[in-house]
């Protein structure tokens, strides 16, 4: 070949090589970007579908639980009707221990229903999605099941498609046949080309992905989207390449007459670059045109290398976007969900195979709160590491991040075996020590980077970012819980406030009703408290209220609840306590206040007495509000009787005092707890609940009572 031919070939290689590479790069990049975006959309849609189906399953499970709580079959049927009428479920099915149907709401879809916990679809078309709970008697024996279902129809599939922004196709459980789909008629069957969880490109330019069935998402679905690659792109690229070829040939013919052999070296260098060697350089032998061309080629390869570096930098920018995502997640109060998102993002950003988030349990032990990829790696299935022990414990103790490689056979006790690891501590943002370093409240650890290489400094920096978000999330949850506690307590006395009284009264009445127990309510009011404020001042009155609350707490059990209703009025809830037990507690409270005057500032001693009204559920009322009102009425009666004493609901203010009688033949139940039930002969309570016979009076005063005093060793509860 002549020099001109060699020069022309070299020139064309120099000029057309980058053009062709650029054209191929543009085409492949656009295709890859199109596939990546479609895969991201399908991945986000899959997460949305899982979350939507899981939320629906949780709703159905809650509906089934609400029906299963009813003991009576008629009440259970009524509860099922309410669940359906409120839209919590489309149908409710109750079966007995043999699986036979005992009740089903009208209009229920045909069975079998696809169970939320199943990992395989039922044979045939999926007609309904259901959640089941077991029916059990008070002894815990299985009585059957309750299933709440939601109809799976085209409208249901359309809602999933609207929520995810992609086309959704529901398949048969036993064959790859379309049941419902939001695809167009011309492409609905192409979605069946999707296999497994991987994104598959269909012949018509669409991308599809199968989802489920799996636990928490048992529906056999196919998600699909159309590609976004511009039409006619190959023709445009081909035209650009052809235009470049024509211009290059003309230039080569012109320059071939004035160039020389050094172009061969340039051609060789271009060939190396075309094979991916960006370190290729052409020696500059002169300052003429050939020399300047060689210098320009060297600059071009350097710029290409800079572009590759820029691509690597884009990975770091992606990590920055994940950090922004972490900031957004830190604003919620669901700590477990936040930690799972943070851990999943950290694993994805660093290429780790597994990871865990550990938090201090309030002492010196780190407990795993969430983990990913550690199934089967822990002997007892739990991750518990003492502070200062092993890799994770030392990270928490020193507050310094660590990374490296270990022998899987010599992994520290309590930690998962691994080959490579990186662990970063995180601390509460508001905490701190004199040295300026916040004490660690948890550790974020990742294990076994993909490819076997060790975690590098970039991974360590990325993990520190996610650990910072975990610290913010922990602090936000702590502040939120503290705010909730303060909103339910009285700041002066430390007792529960009136708002929590309503909630607790409803809960305790439901519990007493469910287990056939008694619930006693004591309404307390400090006698002549206004005189204390007027005589000694409001500061002394506040001190009296605080000391009174302290003495009340000292006279009740841990299961009892004390509330400040307002001013000098207090309420006690005594679960599983009858009238006699409540009278004993009232006697103790009156004595505790009466016998020891309250001392305030400057050694000022203030005598205080308390009047108490007693009411018992269900003896004196059928609802929580009614029994509270009955206790208030008894309190007024105690006030009218001269104060410094107690009254039980229904007892007149002028009734002489006497001990609450206990039938001679009464026998307490085996568990020693008073029970609610129909009265026995003579009007006394059949279970020995110390309920008085009609017309029998009860003690109305405290230590000054003229009648016999109840024993102080026991409350009779």
Reported as a single tens digit per residue, the pLDDT across 580-618 is 999 999 999 999 999 989 888 777 888 999 999 999 999
Instruction: Express as a percent the part of the chain with pLDDT over 70.
Output: 79
Least confident of 138-142, 299-303, 629-633, 676-680: 676-680
pLDDT band at 347 (very low <50, low <70, confident <90, very high): confident
In this prediction, residue 577 carries a pLDDT of 92
pLDDT band at 274 (very low <50, low <70, confident <90, very high): confident
In this prediction, residue 679 carries a pLDDT of 37
In this prediction, residue 506 carries a pLDDT of 92
User: Residue 429 pLDDT more than 50?
Assistant: yes
Q: Give the tens place of pLDDT for each residue, 3-22.
A: 566 667 777 777 777 777 77
In this prediction, residue 710 carries a pLDDT of 34
Q: How many CB atoms lie within 10 A of CB 183?
A: 20
pLDDT band at 276 (very low <50, low <70, confident <90, very high): confident
In this prediction, residue 653 carries a pLDDT of 43
Separation of alpha carbons 118 and 120, rounded Å: 6
Q: Which three-class secondary structure state does DSSP give residue 569?
A: strand
Separation of alpha carbons 324 and 416, rounded Å: 30
Distance of CA 471 to the CA centre of its chain: 16
Q: Which three-class secondary structure state does DSSP give residue 668?
A: coil
Q: Which residues pair with 422 in a beta bridge?
A: 403, 446
pLDDT band at 527 (very low <50, low <70, confident <90, very high): very high
Question: Could you say which of 1.10.150.120, 3.40.50.920, 3.30.450.40, 3.50.50.60 is the CATH number of the domain covering 330-486?
Answer: 3.30.450.40
User: Residue 154 pLDDT more than 90?
Assistant: no
pLDDT band at 556 (very low <50, low <70, confident <90, very high): very high
Most confident region among 205-214, 424-433, 693-702 by mean pLDDT: 205-214
Q: Residue written as tokens 């309920």?
A: 691
Average pLDDT, whole number, for the chain? 78
Domain 498-683 has CATH 3.40.50.300: no
Q: What is the mean pLDDT of residues 188-202?
A: 70
Domain spans of the chain, in order of start: 1-259, 330-486, 498-683
Contact present, 141 and 190 (Cβ < 8 Å): no
Q: What is the mean pLDDT of residues 288-296?
A: 81
Separation of alpha carbons 712 and 589, rounded Å: 11
Higher pLDDT, 333 or 660: 333
Q: What is the mean pLDDT of residues 267-275?
A: 83
pLDDT band at 449 (very low <50, low <70, confident <90, very high): confident
In this prediction, residue 626 carries a pLDDT of 93
Q: Give the tens place of pLDDT for each residue, 409-423.
A: 776 777 888 888 888
Higher pLDDT, 60 or 16: 60
Separation of alpha carbons 641 and 527, rounded Å: 12
Q: Give the tens place of pLDDT for each residue, 537-550.
A: 898 899 999 999 99
In this prediction, residue 509 carries a pLDDT of 93
In this prediction, residue 122 carries a pLDDT of 67
Q: What is the mean pLDDT of residues 72-76?
A: 84
Indicate the burial class of 59 (C-beta count within 10 angstroms; 0-12, 13-18, 19 or more).
middle
Q: What is the mean pLDDT of residues 318-326?
A: 60
In this prediction, residue 267 carries a pLDDT of 80
In this prediction, residue 432 carries a pLDDT of 46
Catalytic residue among 568, 633, 659, 670: 568
> In the annotation, is 197 catalytic?
no
Least confident of 51-65, 421-435, 560-574: 421-435
Q: 232: alpha, beta or left, given left = phi > 0 and alpha = psi -120 to 50? A: left
Q: Give the tens place of pLDDT for each residue, 380-391.
A: 777 888 888 888
In this prediction, residue 240 carries a pLDDT of 78
Least confident of 204-208, 257-261, 395-399, 545-549: 257-261
In this prediction, residue 668 carries a pLDDT of 38
Higher pLDDT, 696 or 577: 577
User: Residue 469 pLDDT more than 90?
Assistant: no
DSSP code at position 183: S
Q: What is the mean pLDDT of residues 57-75?
A: 86
Supply 1's token pair.
């070949």
Buried/exposed 16-40: b ≥16 CB within 10 Å, e otherwise: bebbbeebeeebeeeeeebbeebee
Q: Give the tens place of pLDDT for each residue, 624-679.
A: 999 999 999 999 999 999 999 999 987 434 444 333 443 333 333 444 445 554 43
Q: What is the mean pLDDT of residues 322-332?
A: 60
Q: CB-hemisphere CA count at 13 Å for 429?
A: 14
In this prediction, residue 571 carries a pLDDT of 95
Higher pLDDT, 117 or 570: 570
Contact present, 572 and 578 (Cβ < 8 Å): no
User: Residue 487 pLDDT more than 60?
Assistant: yes
pLDDT band at 505 (very low <50, low <70, confident <90, very high): very high
Supply 81's token pair.
């009707």
User: Residue 480 pLDDT more than 70?
Assistant: yes
In this prediction, residue 430 carries a pLDDT of 55
Q: Give the tens place of pLDDT for each residue, 87-128.
A: 888 899 888 878 888 888 888 888 888 888 876 766 778 888
């Amino acid at each position: 070949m002549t020099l001109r031919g060699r020069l022309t070939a070299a020139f064309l290689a120099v000029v057309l090589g980058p053009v062709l590479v650029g054209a191929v790069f543009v085409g492949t990049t656009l295709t890859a970007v199109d596939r990546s975006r479609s895969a991201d959309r399908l991945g986000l849609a899959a997460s949305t579908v899982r979350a939507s189906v899981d939320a629906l399953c949780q709703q159905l499970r809650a509906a089934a639980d609400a029906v299963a709580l009813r003991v009576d079959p008629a009440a259970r049927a009524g509860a099922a009707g309410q669940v359906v009428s409120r839209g919590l479920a489309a149908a409710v099915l109750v079966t007995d221990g043999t699986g036979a149907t005992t009740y089903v709401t009208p209009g229920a879809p045909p069975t079998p229903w696809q169970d939320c916990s199943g990992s395989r679809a039922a044979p045939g078309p999926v007609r309904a999605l259901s959640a089941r709970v077991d029916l059990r008697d008070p002894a815990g024996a299985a009585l059957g099941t309750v299933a709440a279902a939601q109809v799976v129809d085209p409208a249901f599939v359309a809602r999933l498609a609207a929520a995810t922004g992609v086309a959704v196709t529901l398949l048969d459980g036993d064959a790859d046949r379309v049941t419902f789909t939001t695809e167009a008629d011309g492409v609905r069957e192409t979605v069946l080309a999707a296999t497994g969880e991987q994104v598959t490109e269909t012949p018509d330019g669409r991308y599809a992905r199968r989802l489920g069935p799996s636990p928490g998402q048992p529906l056999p679905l196919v998600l699909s989207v159309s590609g976004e690659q511009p039409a006619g792109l190959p023709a445009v690229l081909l035209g650009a390449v052809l235009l470049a070829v024509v211009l290059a040939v003309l230039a080569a013919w012109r320059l071939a007459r004035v160039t020389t052999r050094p172009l061969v070296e340039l051609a060789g260098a271009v060939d190396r670059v075309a094979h991916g060697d960006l370190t290729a350089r052409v020696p500059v032998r002169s300052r003429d045109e050939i020399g300047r061309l060689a210098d320009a080629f060297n600059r071009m390869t350097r710029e290409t290398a800079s572009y590759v570096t820029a691509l690597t930098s884009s990975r770091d920018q992606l990590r920055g976007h994940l950090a922004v995502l972490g900031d957004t997640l830190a604003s919620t109060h669901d700590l477990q969900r936040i930690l799972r998102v943070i851990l999943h993002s950290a694993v994805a950003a660093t290429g780790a195979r597994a990871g865990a988030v550990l938090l201090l349990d309030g002492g010196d032990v780190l407990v795993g709160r969430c983990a990913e990829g550690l199934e089967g790696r822990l002997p007892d299935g739990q991750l518990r590491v003492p502070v200062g022990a092993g890799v994770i414990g030392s990270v928490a103790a020193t507050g310094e991040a660590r990374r490296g490689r270990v022998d899987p056979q010599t992994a520290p006790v309590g930690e998962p075996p691994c080959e490579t690891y990186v662990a970063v501590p995180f601390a509460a943002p508001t905490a701190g020590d004199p040295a300026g370093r916040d004490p660690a409240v948890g550790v974020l650890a990742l294990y076994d980077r993909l490819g076997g290489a060790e975690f590098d400094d970039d991974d360590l920096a990325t993990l520190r970012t996610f650990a910072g978000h975990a610290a913010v999330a922990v602090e936000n949850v702590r502040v939120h819980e503290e705010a909730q506690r303060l909103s339910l307590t009285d700041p002066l006395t430390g007792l529960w406030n009136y708002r929590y009284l309503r909630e607790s009264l409803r809960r305790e009445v439901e519990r007493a009703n469910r287990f056939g127990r008694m619930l006693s309510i004591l309404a307390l009011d400090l006698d002549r408290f206004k005189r204390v404020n007027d005589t000694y001042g409001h500061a002394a009155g506040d001190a009296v209220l605080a000391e009174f609350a302290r003495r009340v707490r000292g006279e009740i059990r841990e299961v009892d609840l004390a509330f400040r209703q307002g001013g000098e009025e207090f309420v006690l809830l005594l679960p599983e306590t009858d009238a006699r037990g409540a009278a004993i507690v009232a006697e103790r409270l009156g004595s505790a206040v009466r016998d020891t005057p309250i001392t305030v500032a400057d050694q000022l001693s203030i005598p205080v007495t308390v009047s108490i009204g007693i009411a018992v559920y269900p003896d004196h009322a059928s609802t929580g509000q009614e029994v509270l009102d009955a206790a208030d009425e008894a309190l007024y009666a105690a006030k009218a009787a001269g104060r410094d004493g107690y009254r039980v609901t229904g007892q007149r203010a002028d009734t002489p005092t006497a001990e609450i009688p206990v039938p001679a033949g009464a026998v307490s139940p085996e568990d020693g707890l008073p029970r609610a039930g129909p009265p026995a002969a003579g009007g006394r309570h059949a279970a020995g609940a110390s309920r008085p016979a009609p017309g029998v009076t009860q003690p109305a005063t405290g230590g000054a009572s003229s009648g016999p005093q109840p024993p102080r060793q026991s409350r009779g509860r």
